[in-house]
Amino acid sequence: MTNVPEAPAKNAASELRTELRNWCEAWKTCLQNVLSQVSGQPNVFEISPQPLPATDSDVWYTVVAGGAAHGEMTLRLPAASGARLARKFLGETEPAAEAVTTEPITAEAITAEQKEALEELLRQIAGLAATALAATAGGEVQFHLSASTAPSWSSDAIVCLQTRDEAGTSITVEIQISPALAAALQPRVQPAPASAQPSPLSLTLPSPSSSYRRLMDVGLDVKLRFGTRRMLLRDVLALSAGVVIELDNTLHSPVDLLLDGRLIAQGEVVIVDGKYGLRVTDVVDPPPAAGSPV
């Protein structure tokens, strides 16, 4: 039997913050409900604090959260677990016990049809989870799920959802929550009690909510910048169709997100429903204004 490395203390389900535990519990419940419905048999998952050992055959999906909670999470499945879930969704029978023991499932054993079925199954689970998590997130949540690779960010929390099928074979889905999503799920700071004495400064400054409320619906244009290049005027005038301009950024350099010409964030280019998108990996703090305290 393969030894599974012990999980770091911060990833233990019992030590998860309440909002993260509720988030993972909701995904577990939705996974159980959808899988039970499509298979016609009850499926009960348990939350395990131990992360999965990484293998090249793992199947990865990224779930981008929007609405009341912004951030990312990933779903990672061993190839065998992904194939078994796909077969349940397609209504296919499991291979004979002898075949399972003599020919273990690998990444190549997951057909294109099974990968498509697995993704559709996870989309249905994500749709149900979006409704279930509205209370936890404090408002409507939207999820966009897509096949991906391992994330570039370090996980803030990792849990595994585990069960066994009718033959006693393990099925595991690992959830990784990004720091951005974990921060978005933190409880909002409660206002100070009315009996608390305000400081003299608070009596003279307007409330931020009253100052900025009228600006919240103002539309702002943001732009993506893949790179820059300084050119001589004669080279600009000589431009014509077919000319290639080399930028100063390398192929895997982060892309800049600009607001009114100012850098506000950086990230990776992704494709969302046939359109370009940006997966934010870093939010850039603006430099302090001249004369202001640092």
Q: What is the pLDDT of residues 119-149, one digit of tens each?
A: 999 999 999 999 999 887 878 889 999 999 9
CATH code, domain carrying 227: 2.30.330.10
Residues 113 and 258 in one domain: no
CA distance 61 to 126: 11
Choose the most confident range, by mean pLDDT, from 50-54, 158-162, 234-238, 288-292.
Answer: 158-162
> Is pLDDT above 90 for 277?
no
> Is pLDDT above 70 for 108?
no
| DSSP 8-state code for residue 228 | -
Cα dist. 201→198, 206, 211, 288 in Å?
Answer: 8, 10, 16, 22
Residues 51 and 126 in one domain: yes
| Banded model confidence at residue 118, pLDDT cuts 50, 70, 90 | very high
pLDDT value for 17? 85
Using CB atoms within 10 A of its CB, is residue 27 exposed (0-12), middle (13-18) or buried (19+)? buried
Mean pLDDT (the chain) is 78
Pairing of β 59-67 and β 157-164:
unpaired
Residues 69 and 153 in one domain: yes
Total residues found in the chain within this entry = 294
Cα dist. 276→57, 120, 212, 261, 270 in Å?
Answer: 28, 22, 31, 20, 6
Residues 145 and 225 in one domain: no
Q: How many domains does the chain have?
A: 2
Give domain status of residue 210, yes or no: no
Residues 234 and 279 in one domain: yes
CA distance 30 to 121: 11
Last residue of a domain, one of 184, 207, 230: 184
CA distance 199 to 107: 63
Residues 180 and 56 in one domain: yes
| Banded model confidence at residue 2, pLDDT cuts 50, 70, 90 | very low
Read off the tokens for 218.
């103002």
Residues 141 and 31 in one domain: yes
Residues 178 and 44 in one domain: yes
CATH code, domain carrying 74: 3.40.1550.10
Which is more confident, 205 or 19?
Answer: 19
> Is pLDDT above 70 for 101?
no
Residues 161 and 226 in one domain: no
Residues 48 and 172 in one domain: yes
Count the Cβ atoms, other than its own, within 10 Å of residue 84: 25
Q: Range of 236's domain? A: 220-294
Residues 45 and 135 in one domain: yes
Give domain status of residue 258, yes or no: yes
Pick the range with the lowest mean pLDDT from 94-108, 118-132, 208-222, 274-288: 94-108
Q: Which secondary structure element, helix H or strand E, spans residue 130, and what is its range?
A: helix 112-132
Q: What is the pLDDT of residues 146-194, one digit of tens each?
A: 999 999 889 999 999 999 877 788 899 999 999 999 888 887 555 555 5
| Banded model confidence at residue 290, pLDDT cuts 50, 70, 90 | low
Mean pLDDT, rounded, for 267-282: 83
pLDDT value for 96? 55
